[in-house]
A and B are shown apart, each in its own frame.
Chain A
């Protein structure tokens, strides 16, 4: 059974600090992982994705994947009040070209950046 777990929060972080968001997944068949940001009443926006073990950096964001521990994280450096949102972690099975499964989402972590 595919499950993605996240702490719902809220996670409160002072402006300028590093926000650390965590996610665990149950299905070892999951190959790709995505972080989306969702503002209240809006649809998710892609932040970044990661396939390989280790770190992947994109601007202020760093995704980390540890397949042995089935653990994914997202670090946000120099947090800004505009980063306040719900962050969704999602797992996928990799693109097979044959219309594979959609993404399995966690419930999201509500992040608050305090000015």
Chain B
């Protein structure tokens, strides 16, 4: 149980384009999902908290107009990187709560912006 999927697993795009990443909880309902970003040899940094049916809460320094989050259902949250630039290239990982405090992570999405 507590399986989280992400799609796509990797994406390469040109600078200036937008990229959408999906995060799904497959066998449970998640009222709260989280989006993290991890640069090489760095730890995970929380970007935002996504609550079903309400606006996401962004961490300090994360541009909400650049990283659009939608949590339209209890099993799906999406992150859209708008007008992506090379510095946005990173490993994006979502997680979801299966009840209680424990977060289960998706497999991650590698984004490379050329």
Q: Which of A51, A88, A92 contacts B43 (CB 8 A)?
A: A88
Q: A108–B43 contact, CB under 8 A? A: yes
Q: Which of B49, B93, B102 contacts A34 (CB 8 A)?
A: B102
In the complex, A45 Cα to B3 Cα: how many Å? Answer: 11
Q: B101–A102 contact, CB under 8 A? A: no
Q: Which of A43, A44, A104 contacts B46 (CB 8 A)?
A: A104
Question: Is B97 located at the chain interface by the 8 A CB criterion?
Answer: yes
Interface range on chain A: under 10, 10 to 19, 20 to 34, or 35 or more?
A: 20 to 34
Q: Nearest chain A CB to B2's CB is how many angstroms away?
A: 9
The secondary-structure label for the interface of chain A is loop
A43-B108, A49-B102, A102-B36 are contacts. A95–B97 as well, Cβ < 8 Å? yes
A43-B107, A102-B34, A102-B36 are contacts. A94–B46 as well, Cβ < 8 Å? no
Q: Which residues of A contact B77 (CB under 8 A)?
A: none
Question: Is B67 located at the chain interface by the 8 A CB criterion?
Answer: no
Q: Which residues of A contact B49 (CB under 8 A)?
A: 99, 101-102
Question: Is B11 located at the chain interface by the 8 A CB criterion?
Answer: no
The secondary-structure label for the interface of chain B is strand
Q: A94–B102 contact, CB under 8 A? A: no
In the complex, A45 Cα to B106 Cα: how many Å? Answer: 9
Q: A103–B97 contact, CB under 8 A? A: no
Q: A105–B43 contact, CB under 8 A? A: yes
In the complex, A43 Cα to B103 Cα: how many Å? Answer: 12
Q: Which residues of B contact A99 (CB under 8 A)?
A: 31-32, 49, 51, 57
Q: Nearest chain A CB to B38's CB is how many angstroms away?
A: 9
Q: A43-B108, A104-B46 are in contact. List 20 more A-B contacts (CB 8 A).
A: A34-B102, A36-B105, A43-B106, A44-B44, A44-B105, A46-B102, A46-B103, A49-B101, A49-B102, A51-B101, A88-B44, A95-B97, A95-B100, A95-B101, A99-B32, A101-B46, A101-B49, A102-B103, A105-B45, A108-B43
Q: Which 5 A-B pairs have the closest CB atoms?
A: A102-B46, A102-B34, A43-B108, A95-B101, A107-B43
